[in-house]
Amino acid sequence: MILKDQVALITGAARGIGKAIAARLAREGASVAIIDIDGEQARKTALELECELLRAVPYTCDVADPGEANKVVKKVVSDLERIDILVNNAGITRDGLLMRMKPEEWDLVFAVNLKGAFNFIRSACRQMLKQRAGAIVNISSVIGLIGNAGQANYSASKAGLLGLTKSAAKEFAPRGIRVNAVAPGFIETEMTAVLPEEAKQGWLASVPLNRAGSMEEVASAVLFLVGPDSEYITGQVLQVDGGMIM
Ligand code: NAI
């Protein structure tokens, strides 16, 4: 139980990769705050974890809203008494060719994927600074590293997360807070389930390990980056992509 007595906030944790991360951290002893815009699903997920005798508390929040983020972080501190870990996982896509992309589609993807992480880092760092310790992981994407036709907004937001990760890592290092990013490749989730079969096969052809990744494999990378085995690692991007990019 390497995270015993620790408190972890995970955004977008009602389903998918965020849920897998929450479950993994909880099984290592952390109390987890399940933060999601889908409050009903967040409650179901927290209940599922509680049935495993893990400590999980659901919170409804749109990460794009700085006021809501601040309120939820305060509520977590009052409910669970500390914040040791923050995982900025909430993310969305609004794909389309640049020429046809609506400014609102650009803004919404940035508001959730990038500003959402800024909102939570800004609010949660106060408690971490008080504790003089903390670990933050931002979930980026390989698309933030290599770009992708039809995903200019998503790619730019995920690349932006890497700049945010490195700047925050430099800013917080003297105060004992580490900040890293995980860049998943092609992972089997509800987000990728909706892709056309042809697109899936195209992506898989570029993976040397010759298969899609699982949510649990992303969760393992996050656990490493928030746990005691990575205490000398900050400002890094860990790719979980089967060798897609090297
Ligand atoms: P998903 O769509 O299955 O889950 C995303 C969760 O975030 C949902 O529970 C949703 O309700 C929540 N969410 C959406 N907007 C929100 C908001 N404004 N405020 C709070 N919560 C919000 O997605 P998935 O596949 O689990 O992805 C999780 C993260 O991993 C995302 O950041 C995604 O960009 C990233 N990623 C996923 C990959 C994949 O292959 N699935 C590959 C690379 C990165």
What is the CA(11)–ligand 1 centre distance, in A? 9
Q: Which residues pair with 18 in a beta bridge?
A: none
Contact at 8 Å (CB) between 14 and 240?
no
Mean predicted confidence (pLDDT) in 108-136? 98
pLDDT at 246: 96
The answer, yes or no, to whether residue 194 has pLDDT greater than 90, is: no
pLDDT at 191: 78
pLDDT at 112: 99
Q: How far apart are CA 118 and CA 103, in angstroms?
A: 21
pLDDT at 28: 98
pLDDT at 199: 86
Q: What is the DSSP letter of 233?
A: -
The answer, yes or no, to whether residue 190 has pLDDT greater than 90, is: no
59 belongs to the catalytic site: no
pLDDT confidence tier of residue 84, bands split at 50, 70 and 90: very high
pTM: 0.98
Return the residue matching tokens 């995980």: 182
Which atom from ligand 1 is nearest to the alpha carbon of 212?
A: 40
Looking at every residue in the chain, the average pLDDT score rounds to 97
Question: Given the DSSP bridges, would you call strands 177-184 and 85-88 parallel, antiparallel or unpaired?
Answer: unpaired
Return the residue matching tokens 């698309």: 143
pLDDT confidence tier of residue 6, bands split at 50, 70 and 90: very high
The answer, yes or no, to whether residue 68 has pLDDT greater than 90, is: yes
pLDDT in tens, 89-104: 999 999 999 999 999 9
Give one word for 160, left, alpha or beta, with left for phi > 0 and alpha for psi -120 to 50.
alpha
Q: How far apart are CA 12 and CA 139, in angstroms?
A: 11
Q: What percent of the chain is helix, strand and coil (3-state, nearest 5)?
A: 50, 15, 30
pLDDT confidence tier of residue 192, bands split at 50, 70 and 90: confident
Ligand 1 site residues (CB inside 6 A) read 11-12, 14-18, 36-38, 61-64, 89-92, 112, 139, 141, 184, 186-187, 189-192
Burial label, 67 (beta-carbon count in 10 A; 0-12, 13-18, 19+): exposed
Closest CA to 89 of 227, 185, 218: 218
